[in-house]
Copies of this chain bind each other. A is one copy, B any other.
Amino acid sequence: MTHGAAGRSPVMADVARIAGVSHQTVSRVLNHHPNVRPATRDRVLAAIEELGYRRNLSARALVTRRTNTLGVVAFDTTLYGPASTLFGLEQAARDAGYFISIVSLKTINRKTVGEALDYLAAQAVDGLIAIAPQVEAAAAVSALQGNVPVVAVEGGEADGMPVVAVDQVHGAELATRHLLDLGHRTVWHVAGPVDWLEAEGRKRGWRATLEAAGVEIPPVVEGDWSPRSGYEAGLRIADDARSGRASAIFVSNDQMALGLLRALHEAGVRVPQDVSIVGFDDIPEAEFLTPPLTTVRQDFAEVGRKSIALLLDLIETGPRPETERIVVSPVLVARASTAPPAST
């Protein structure tokens, strides 16, 4: 296994010596340069194998000015959505032969995002992905980006950077339509935090669908994604639910829906007999709540793949004239938390 030379791990020159070629030929073999005679290539490969040689990426990066690393700025990666997106990104990047460097932030503002970008810039990443679900975050990233290509995931449309996102508006339409189609007179909405783009999109889709159907639009109840805020929303809606004024609720994510189910249960409101509920995300738990939750599923892996593909393309071919926006469609998953309204 180990050959001659002591301790020090082998370098190209060692391989070259053993294979009886120049170091440059070794480099060519490694980089799949076409003009190498098969016999030579085989000898080189054998030498590489024999020595257990690995090329030194630092030296390579030094001369090529490419680190083969992509930076990711993420936010609250313990939430199901961001965690899944991150997972998808990592897989896609690895498949494409890129390394990935992640910064996850607890709070998002111009300062923390700036520090994150600094940190990634220090690594000389070849490109940047910003999981920027908040208005503020997207703005901070677009304000601070240097000259490395950036792709936003779930970012807003305004800021002139390419975006890959799930079509939140359409997802919300699916949810709202589903409830209207079941016969509900109107649909209430528990929204996510106002500064989140996804929350915003879902609210828009919900409102648009109600308007298109020409039905009354109930007041929006605000939450912050947490089960607790869903619980509190549930307490607030419970009276309307009992009186039959609220018979269908579209909740902006599953965690809040879970809290809301809890609140309704405590208030003695039955789901789906008295009230129908639709969530968003399809977290693994959704299927096993009481009752199993109808929800909207997002394909995070697909978002990851599309983001990496777009970013690599940007790195390869330079910036585009017009800003791109790639959209992934969500699907409705119908379960037991929705039903036709009680006969009034």
A contact set with B: CB distance below 8 Å: 54, 56-59, 61-62, 67, 77-78, 80, 83-84, 86-87, 90-91, 94, 99-104, 119, 121-124, 226-228, 230-231, 255, 258-259, 261-262, 265, 284-285, 287-290, 292
Question: What CA separation (Å) do A226 and B123 show in the bound complex?
Answer: 38
Whether the pair A78, B67 counts as a contact (CB closer than 8 A) is no
Residues of B within 8 A of A100 (CB): 101-102
Question: What CA separation (Å) do A165 and B87 show in the bound complex?
Answer: 23
* Chain B min CB distance to A72 (Å): 10
Which residue of B80, B122, B287 contacts A78 across the interface (Cβ within 8 Å)?
Answer: B80
Residues of B within 8 A of A102 (CB): 90, 100, 102
User: Which of A57, A255, A285 lies at the interface centre, i.e. has the most chain B CB atoms within 10 A of its CB?
Assistant: A285
Question: What CA separation (Å) do A258 and B257 show in the bound complex?
Answer: 15
Could you write out 11 A-B pairs with CB less than 8 Å apart?
Answer: A54-B122, A57-B124, A58-B124, A78-B83, A90-B102, A228-B287, A228-B288, A231-B288, A255-B285, A258-B288, A261-B290
Whether the pair B99, A101 counts as a contact (CB closer than 8 A) is yes
Residues of B within 8 A of A77 (CB): 83, 86-87
* Chain B min CB distance to A239 (Å): 20
Question: What CA separation (Å) do A84 and B77 show in the bound complex?
Answer: 8
Residues of B within 8 A of A289 (CB): 258, 262
Which residue of B99, B121, B262 contacts A123 across the interface (Cβ within 8 Å)?
Answer: B99
* Chain B min CB distance to A265 (Å): 5
Residues of B within 8 A of A262 (CB): 288-290, 292
Whether the pair B227, A284 counts as a contact (CB closer than 8 A) is yes
Closest to A62 in B: B58
Question: What CA separation (Å) do A255 and B265 show in the bound complex?
Answer: 20
Whether the pair B90, A103 counts as a contact (CB closer than 8 A) is yes
Residues of B within 8 A of A261 (CB): 290
Residues of B within 8 A of A226 (CB): 284
User: Which of A67, A226, A288, A289 lies at the interface centre, i.e. has the most chain B CB atoms within 10 A of its CB?
Assistant: A288
Whether the pair B123, A57 counts as a contact (CB closer than 8 A) is yes
Question: What CA separation (Å) do A288 and B266 show in the bound complex?
Answer: 11
Whether the pair A87, B104 counts as a contact (CB closer than 8 A) is yes
Residues of B within 8 A of A61 (CB): 58
Question: What CA separation (Å) do A321 and B230 show in the bound complex?
Answer: 52
* Chain B min CB distance to A258 (Å): 5
Q: Given contacts A83-B83, A100-B101, are A56 and B287 in contact (CB under 8 A)?
A: no
* Chain B min CB distance to A313 (Å): 23
* Chain B min CB distance to A148 (Å): 12
Whether the pair B290, A56 counts as a contact (CB closer than 8 A) is no
Residues of B within 8 A of A83 (CB): 77-78, 83
Question: What CA separation (Å) do A117 and B226 show in the bound complex?
Answer: 37
Closest to A82 in B: B83
* Chain B min CB distance to A134 (Å): 18
Which residue of B56, B84, B258 contacts A124 across the interface (Cβ within 8 Å)?
Answer: B56
